[in-house]
């Protein structure tokens, strides 16, 4: 008599169903951003530049005035506010270049292929990178605003006995100091858009530096009527009007400057989105 045995049936555990959602894409981009040592270093440098250079410029101005020698052209019309915001020019480069690295860095290493394999709908990757780094840059800008306030208070004490003396009660000072935060946040998004559009760290950094520093200087070579027409709408000039103390016929108001700078940012993001959707990685 034989005994029939039933072979054991192995049951495979059901795999959990994973779906790509906007929140998960955001979380992945957040993880990638903070996994890089360069993120911490560059953001830290941005804060240091923002505060330290403001104090250094105030001390330099005070020593120049105390020496009795003619002031440099950069210091001729300086105020305690402009001196405290002097580091913005350097902080914007740190945040903008890091924004370029956030997107263009993945193209240089080839990691973008893995990213787009996991997220088949490409555009959420760009929106998530822009949102994550833009929020981080804005937070750094807000922290920088607190530092700039401190730099303004200390710098005001340094230049208190000079023509640059100014207090927070002066008209427009608080508004100007607060305007630096949104400007730095948008600079970060601008860098992300340039990196995604050009897909080159060197190319994106070069265009960023040219747009913020070189082109405004070249515009001065044009006829005066052209300068007054084109100059206010350049990204750098429009952005700086967000935290400028005074405005004239050749500059935009803070609100108009914000809108123009937003327009440049949206335009570059639109170009980056078009290239991402239409061309291979």
The CA-based angle 72-81-139, given to 5 degrees, is 125
Q: What percent of the chain has pLDDT over 90?
A: 14
pLDDT digits (tens, 9 = 90+) for 55-90: 888 888 777 776 666 666 666 677 888 888 888 888
pLDDT digits (tens, 9 = 90+) for 213-260: 888 888 878 787 778 788 889 898 898 888 888 777 778 888 899 999
The whole-number pLDDT of residue 262 equals: 93
CB 264 within 8 A of CB 238: yes
The whole-number pLDDT of residue 122 equals: 80
* Interatomic CA distance for residues 230 and 246, integer angstroms: 19
> Is the pTM for the entire model greater than 0.75?
yes
For 172-195, b/e burial (b = at least 16 CB within 10 A) is: ebeebbbbbbbbbbbbbbbbbbbb
* Interatomic CA distance for residues 262 and 260, integer angstroms: 5
The whole-number pLDDT of residue 10 equals: 54
Cβ neighbours, 10 Å, residue 45: 17
Cβ neighbours, 10 Å, residue 261: 26
* Host H or E run for residue 185: helix 173-198
pLDDT digits (tens, 9 = 90+) for 140-193: 878 878 888 888 888 777 777 777 778 777 888 888 888 888 888 889 899 999
The whole-number pLDDT of residue 1 equals: 44
The whole-number pLDDT of residue 72 equals: 67
Both tokens assigned to 76: 């001729």
* Interatomic CA distance for residues 102 and 126, integer angstroms: 10
């Amino acid at each position: 008599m034989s005994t029939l045995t039933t072979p054991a049936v192995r049951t495979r555990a059901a795999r959990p169903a994973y779906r790509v959602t906007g929140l998960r894409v955001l979380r992945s981009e957040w993880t990638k951003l903070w996994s890089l040592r360069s993120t911490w270093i560059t953001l830290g440098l941005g804060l240091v530049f923002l505060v330290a250079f403001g104090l250094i410029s105030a001390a330099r101005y005070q020593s120049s005035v105390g020496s009795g020698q003619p002031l440099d052209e950069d210091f001729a019309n300086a105020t305690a506010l402009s001196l405290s915001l002097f580091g913005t020019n350097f902080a914007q480069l740190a945040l903008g270049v890091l924004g370029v690295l956030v997107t263009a860095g993945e193209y240089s290493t080839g990691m973008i292929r893995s990213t787009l394999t996991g997220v088949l709908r490409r555009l959420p990757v760009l929106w998530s990178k822009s949102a994550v780094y833009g929020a981080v840059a804005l937070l750094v800008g807000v922290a920088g605003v607190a530092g700039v306030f401190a730099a303004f208070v200390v710098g005001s004490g340094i230049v208190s006995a000079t023509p640059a003396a100014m207090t927070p009660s002066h008209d427009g000072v608080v508004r100007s100091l607060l305007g630096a935060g949104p400007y730095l946040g948008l600079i970060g998004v601008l860098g992300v858009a340039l990196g995604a559009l050009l897909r080159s760290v060197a190319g994106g950094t070069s265009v960023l530096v040219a747009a913020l520093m070189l082109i405004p200087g070249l515009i001065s070579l044009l006829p005066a009527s052209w300068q007054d027409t084109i100059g206010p709408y350049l990204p750098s000039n429009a952005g700086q009007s967000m935290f400028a103390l005074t405005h004239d016929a050749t500059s935009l108001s803070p609100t108009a400057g914000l809108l123009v700078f937003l327009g440049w940012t949206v335009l570059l993001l639109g170009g980056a989105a078009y290239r991402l959707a239409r061309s291979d990685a």
